[in-house]
Chain A
Amino acid sequence: MAKKKFVVGCFKQESVLFPAVKRVRTAGYKIHDVYTPYPVHGLDHAMGLRETSLHTAGFIYGITGTATALSCISWILASDWPLNFGGKPHFALPAWIPIIFEFTVLMAAVGMVLTFCYLCQMAPFLKKHHFHLRATDDLFVMVIECTAKTNAEDLQGFLANAGAVETSIQEAEAGWWLGTYDKEQRLIRDTTIEIA
């Protein structure tokens, strides 16, 4: 896939990061992602990310698992090859529930892991570009995608002005397979809370 140009700004504190995210978005720049050392509550709202559809996918995988297990077991044990187990009816639903449940969980879990990898554009043995290694340690790294109109040097100055301790311009792969997940962003809800 095509290489893209990114402007990276590193922030030391959440309290600086949040206003910076707001300023960057108000100025009309497109945030590619923000890499943080730990999950930051409320950052998804601030960045205007839409709610993930991972759980809907999980529900569909789970339902598929339930249907597969139920139809498979009932076809085998009640129709294709009925056996007598301790005088129980051939359609012995209570005895199957644990297996159906386990299969539901298995399908949902495996399916969601694979979907998650797809959504995050990750795969085994795939080397991903790190915008800044300290994102795994103590820095909040904001990555902004450059469009044709973006002046990268201006943007660097803008980020430094917003409180970034370090800025850089990098080129990287935006995504590596079938489409990306960067749909248009909108503010789900204003999270500013007045605390006395």
Chain B
Amino acid sequence: MASIKDHFEMPSKSRTWSLALIFIGALLLVIGFVTRGMSSDENDKTIFWGTLMYNSIFFTLICNASMFFICATTLAMGGWQMAFRRVPEAISKMVIILGSVTWLILLYIVVIDNNKDIHIFHWLSDESKSDPILKGKLGFLNPTFFFIWTTLAIGLWILLGARMRKLSSEFDEGPIDAEQGKSLIWKNTVTAAMFIVWFALTVASTIPWLWLMSIDAHWYSTMYSWYTFASSFVSGMALVALWVIYLKNKGYLEYTNEEHLHDIGKFMFAFSIFWTYLWFSQYMLIWYGNIPEETVYFKHRVQGPYKGIFFLNLIINFVCPLLILMKRSAKRNYTLVTFMAVLIIFGHWIDFYQMVLGSISKEEVTLNWLDFGIAALYIGVIIFFVGKELARKPLVPKYHPFLKESIIHHT
């Protein structure tokens, strides 16, 4: 045990890179804010805030997916993830920073601005006072409920996540006997179950309705929340894979080997297929039914300016993972998994782009330096703070009763 390197130190090169990304991103954000966010043109302003919103939501959800991964494996009594469990733990801590930013942005858009200049959410507009369909939805879609539910959602993700991380660090203190082990596992199970229930009530149902689907308040799809969840979970697993490979590359995580990588790769592969299943179910039923109030969502995406992005999305997020990650040897290959992880995160980022901007700016695709700048800012923040968090704690929960199961893991 003593021989393993369990204290991570962020290499100065990585730190410089992350700071450079933060700097470039922040610079572009400021330029964007001055030229678009403060512009007198309401359309420019709406697009600026929409860009900011989908980026924050995307990166918050993929970091939160790490905690979902930990809780789901905990409830399943999984042991294989112990060798690298500190990595998703560190990533999930980002919800504190990114969640607060998202909360502020949504608060500004919905409560403070409230449709004065920013026209993202259709249900905030004056039309909702006369339109019978929107009127019927106002019990759910109103600023008060939006504010309370968003606050609760982000707050409880942070709180329950912090509890899971605190319980995990109790395994570092010293050797534990069977009785202590049992009670700690039980405590972990209870907290994980609470997180999963809250996750089901938020990410897997209400939060995508409120934050994303209600942009087109007339339109609805029962697949939407699962679609968003699948998107965020598969990119969350890709993010975990990237960090695991990065740490392996720097000589840490000795217990993690291609067996663990294989299982992470399986998650990336399987949830890419699951995402496609939801994408297709949503699309095919609406295409087949051909009812105007449903097809309105796909009109400008399939036949309008978003056509390219819409189908590129399907190629990156379905065809590539299907063909490239299908082979067992591909899922055990560090280079291929790295490549696919980057591709998957990019693909789902583009997916979130067309989910939000496709509804705000229907006439033209606005993907430009601002989108990439804000994404760079968030990526820089994630690299910097996850690296910091990883350095704070031992990389392996040394006295965890399931650790041996992870070391001898064999797929």
Contact = CB atoms under 8 A, between A and B. Distances in A.
Interface of A: 41-42, 51, 55, 59, 86-88, 94-95, 97-98, 191, 193, 195-196
A188 to B, nearest CB: 12
B129 interface: no
A195 B408 contact: yes
Contact of A41 (B284, B328, B410): B410
B410 A42 contact: yes
Contacts of A51: 328
A132 B328 CA distance: 34
Interface residues of B, number: 15
B290 interface: yes
Contact of A195 (B326, B404, B410): B404
B1 interface: yes
Contacts of B404: 195
- Going nearest first, the 6 A-B pairs with the smallest beta carbon separation are A41-B410, A196-B1, A94-B284, A94-B287, A42-B410, A195-B407
Nearest to B280: A97
Contacts of A97: 280, 284
A94 B298 CA distance: 14
21 contacts: A41-B408, A41-B410, A42-B410, A51-B328, A55-B328, A86-B290, A87-B290, A94-B283, A94-B284, A94-B287, A95-B284, A95-B288, A97-B280, A97-B284, A98-B284, A191-B410, A193-B407, A193-B408, A195-B404, A195-B407, A196-B1
| Dominant SS among interface residues on chain A | loop
Contacts, number: 29
Given A55-B328, A196-B2, 19 more contacts: A41-B408, A42-B410, A51-B328, A86-B288, A86-B290, A87-B290, A88-B288, A94-B280, A94-B284, A94-B288, A95-B288, A97-B280, A97-B284, A98-B284, A191-B410, A195-B404, A195-B407, A195-B408, A196-B1
Interface in B275-309: 280, 283-284, 287-288, 290
Contacts of A41: 408, 410
Interface of B: 1-3, 280, 283-284, 287-288, 290, 326, 328, 404, 407-408, 410
A51 B1 CA distance: 32
Contacts of A42: 410
Contacts of A94: 280, 283-284, 287-288
A97 B277 CA distance: 11
A196 B326 CA distance: 35
Q: Which of B404, B407, B410 has the most CB of A within 10 A?
A: B410
Nearest to A95: B288
Contacts of B283: 94
Contacts of B408: 41, 193, 195
Contacts of A55: 328
A11 B296 CA distance: 68
B315 to A, nearest CB: 15
Contacts of B280: 94, 97
Contacts of B287: 94
A86 B291 CA distance: 12
- Residue picked from A55, A97, A195, most chain B C-beta under 10 Å: A195
A52 B154 CA distance: 47
A107 B410 CA distance: 29
Nearest to A42: B410
Nearest to B329: A51
B254 to A, nearest CB: 10
B290 A59 contact: no
Contacts of A95: 284, 288
Contacts of B326: 59
Contacts of B2: 196
